[in-house]
Chain A
Amino acid sequence: MKKDKIPADGCLLEVNNVTMKFTKYEVGVDSLKELVVRAFKGDLKREKFVCLKNISFKIYKGEAVALIGRNGVGKSTLLKIVSGILKPTSGYAQSYGRISPLLQLGAGFDGNATGMENIYLNAAIMGYTKKEIDAKLKEILDFAELGDFIYSPVKTYSSGMLARLGFSIAINMEAEIMLIDEILAVGDMAFQKKCYDKLTELKAKGLTFLIVSHSDSVRDLCERAIWIERGRMVADGPSGDIFKRYTDVMMNPEKQH
């Protein structure tokens, strides 16, 4: 269960020795037919592959941390563990505050409902009461800049508009911890700038961030970076250094190790 008392040292998010294993079997079979066919073939080996191994870190109040690493090393899985959606195979992740996840923006809307209805539905699924949403409604609408489209069904929206709406909801609801997953390629330039400005503003307000991204603007926002490679933590330190080392390795793969 979530504890709400913030520890004396100001740690908001604790990831302790987290290991996540998936069985390949779980990934493969998704129909009864498949299961029966494989059972007959004797092909039900539960091969495990380790997605994350012994990851530990703590994030303190007011910190902005970038999570970097090449595609498919388990960054998004780690975010899901942190937000409590996935349960790690061993170890634990503990958060001491409300989490606002900004993962896959624009996903999870109901196409037939209007933008307005989706704001309420989305925020309610994220765990907010009607009162809290009412209080934030104006800010969400102002930020999304959708005008009268907010009363149209969401299925008529462009993907950019969806992302705007998703971002506005997630970022305007008051949470202590923001989890952000590669969302910064959305919207036009003006909206991107606005997002960064908003993030900077929230950071100044003392919110805590955990961001998965590769872009340079994130480097400026975050003072700390955690580098993950093949499910293991390679480095954890000031973002300038880590980004530089990371870029070096990415650009010259043969120099690795």
Chain B
Amino acid sequence: MEREKRSKFLAQQGYLLTLLVRRNIKNQYYRSFIGILWTVLNPLLNMAVMAFVFSSIFGAGITNGLDYPLYILSGNIIFNIMRTSTTGSLPCLVQQQDMLQKTKVPIGLFPTANVLSSMVTFGFSFIALLIVALFRLAVGKYVFSWHIVLLLALLPAVMLFSLGLSYFLSALYVFFRDIEHIYSVILTLWTYLTPLFYTIDVLGNPTVTRFMSFNPMFHYVTYFRDILTGIVPSAWEHLVCYAFGIVAFVIGYLFMCIVRNKIAAKL
């Protein structure tokens, strides 16, 4: 009886979550002419611009064997999971304040929905990546390898990391509204501190390289590029990816639990 009730509750929460995710994705490209197609086109166009701008500066040969357009695209779409999750989640509790003030609903669902929509967007971007890879294959610049399936091992870690950050930020934003501006600066800094369009070797600075290992996004991006190139990341690399993910998730979740009661009073 008790168990049946619990599973019914979980099913209900799952249903609500799918509704929220669907709404997020719909709103993202609401009223745009080609709609959902933008999710594929957007990373493609971005990549084209970046490849055009940066290929002459950072260009060939130093990308550990990965073709430069793919190098840019792979880094960006992994980074974008975290970026869109957190920027979407940051104001999400405040945006839902009308609802949260009149109904008792687990608040964690809203940031979770944002992270899940980012995962869906990633799926579309991944299609874009495959299209580019096919084109590069045709001109002999890229070879597919089976390692690409290891993506399934990477995504849960990125997701946990994004969830943790999203929980933390959405709850914090309720109390400090200026976090929005601070976070957008941090995010810009983070984008440049992660080798998305440059390679770490180009910097040629051992201090930077050592410092880089504290950047979780660096590990996720590198992992993704390794499997695209056809390298199996080491066990240590797996450990690091999951350690960052789990630690972020636990901290974010605990923070949200601790301030949960204050959030309703504050909204």
Contact = CB atoms under 8 A, between A and B. Distances in A.
B102 interface: yes
B177 to A, nearest CB: 5
Nearest to B102: A103
B179 interface: yes
B23 A121 contact: yes
A254 interface: no
A58 interface: no
Given A31-B177, A32-B182, A112-B30, A125 B99 contact: yes
Interface string B79-122: 00000000000000000101111111100000000000000000
B27 interface: yes
B26 A113 contact: yes
A85 B101 contact: yes
Nearest to B17: A124
A86 B105 CA distance: 12
Interface size class of B (residues with CB under 8 A): 20 to 34
A142 interface: no
A206 interface: no
A121 B19 contact: yes
Interface in B156-204: 175-179, 182
B178 A31 contact: yes
Nearest to A20: B265
Interface size class of A (residues with CB under 8 A): 20 to 34
A41 interface: no
A129 B100 contact: no
A100 B27 CA distance: 28
Contacts of B176: 30-32, 35
Overall SS of chain B's interface: helix
A129 B266 CA distance: 29
Interface string B9-26: 001100110011001001
Contacts of B99: 107-108, 122, 125
Given A86-B264, A124-B12, A104 B101 contact: yes
Overall SS of chain A's interface: loop
Interface string B44-87: 00000000000000000000000000000000000000000000
Contacts of B177: 30-31
B141 interface: no
B234 interface: no
B265 A22 contact: yes
A85 B103 contact: yes
Contacts of B26: 112-113
A130 B15 CA distance: 7
B255 to A, nearest CB: 16
Interface centre among A33, A113, A124 (most CB of B within 10 A): A124
Contacts of B32: none
A30 B175 contact: yes
B207 interface: no
Nearest to A2: B104
A107 B102 contact: yes
B205 interface: no
A129 B98 contact: no
A233 B199 CA distance: 69
Contacts of A35: 176
A120 B22 CA distance: 12
Contacts of B19: 120-121, 124
B103 A129 contact: no
B99 to A, nearest CB: 4
Interface centre among B15, B182, B265, B266 (most CB of A within 10 A): B265
B105 A125 contact: yes
Contact of B103 (A33, A83, A110, A117): A83
B19 to A, nearest CB: 5
Contacts of B15: 124, 129-130
6 contacts: A30-B177, A85-B101, A113-B23, A121-B19, A124-B15, A128-B12
Given A31-B177, A121-B20, A126-B105, 13 more contacts: A26-B265, A83-B103, A84-B104, A85-B101, A87-B264, A101-B103, A108-B98, A108-B103, A110-B27, A112-B26, A127-B12, A129-B8, A129-B15
Interface of B: 8, 11-12, 15-16, 19-20, 23, 26-27, 30, 96, 98-105, 175-179, 182, 261-262, 264-266
Would you list the 10 A-B pairs with minimal beta carbon distance, nearest first? A107-B98, A108-B99, A108-B98, A103-B102, A124-B16, A31-B178, A84-B104, A32-B176, A87-B261, A101-B102
